[in-house]
Chain A
């Protein structure tokens, strides 16, 4: 027999061979061997079901965390090129868009009358939303 440092690997290979038999045998044979060994398949199933349920919950949490991380990465990405345009150009894009949206046009007109014109921050936010919705591309051109 080789040294103890190989014992874990040897045990692993023996286990693999045992499990190969186990995986291939028909249900009836497996249940008969359980009975012979004094094992309770129902108890084994209950224990396994608990492990599986925990795994389902854990996997769900991992997927949600991955989705949140993905969303955070998207939000952290540099702004679309449209927000880097001169303010005047950005206003023109908003106004072009508003030309097809009477509700928005009314709001912009009212705000301008009140001297409450859209701030650049508001305009950038609006433009980012249009990019994310796919209404305009990153350079502000209608899609």
Chain B
């Protein structure tokens, strides 16, 4: 890792200017990323993007000078969403034993226990529906399942005996199918 580059970060004013200067394509890309990343959380896409931008601007997340600010914001959204999923997963006792008014901010939003249980059931259904999209495409199904299990891309390519180009083609197929089924995120 290039420690010098990692430590060379934008000042708050520079970060503000970078955020304010995002192009329309950058912004569209960020919102689409947010729509995907709020999977398994109680965040809406705009809320997730809003939270990531806010954290960068108040200095909770730094922007490396050698990375586009879009990459920093995507990383921030990934981190926020991941924390929300883990928070919901690691506090299952609260779902059953805490009253509706007392439930702490599980999965980043305050929800009632009932809402949290419904969300958990919905996530299971969402995952099953996603898998069902690829039942007629063995390669894509394998890659999606590998993604779900956190298997690195290099290992997947090795296991499938795929070139980088072939793997990229499969990933494109996956995106097309998901974009068609869920054009505005994970709600149908």
A positions within 8 Å CB-CB of B:
1, 4-19, 21-23, 27, 30-31, 33-34, 36-39, 41-42, 44-45, 47-52, 54-56, 58-60, 62-63, 66
Contact = CB atoms under 8 A, between A and B. Distances in A.
B27 A52 contact: yes
B96 interface: no
Of the four ranges (under 10, 10 to 19, 20 to 34, 35 or more), the interface on chain B belongs to: 35 or more
Report whether over half of chain B's contact residues are helix, strand or loop; otherwise say mixed. Answer: helix
B7 to A, nearest CB: 23
Given A7-B123, A36-B176, A62-B54, A19 B74 contact: yes
B5 interface: no
A55 B123 contact: no
Given A22-B29, A22-B33, A41-B25, A56 B123 contact: no
A10 to B, nearest CB: 4
A8 B174 CA distance: 19
A21 B179 contact: no
Contacts of B86: 9
B41 interface: yes
A12 B124 CA distance: 12
Contacts of A31: 25
Contact of B179 (A36, A49, A54, A62): A36
Contact of B40 (A15, A38, A50, A55): A15
Interface in B84-98: 85-86, 88-89, 92
Contacts of A11: 39-40, 123, 126-127, 130, 148, 186
Nearest to B153: A17
A34 B32 contact: yes
Contacts of A10: 40, 127, 148-149
Nearest to B131: A1
Interface string B117-146: 000110110111011000000000000100
Interface string B152-188: 0100000000000000000100111011100100100
B36 interface: yes
B6 interface: no
B33 A12 contact: no
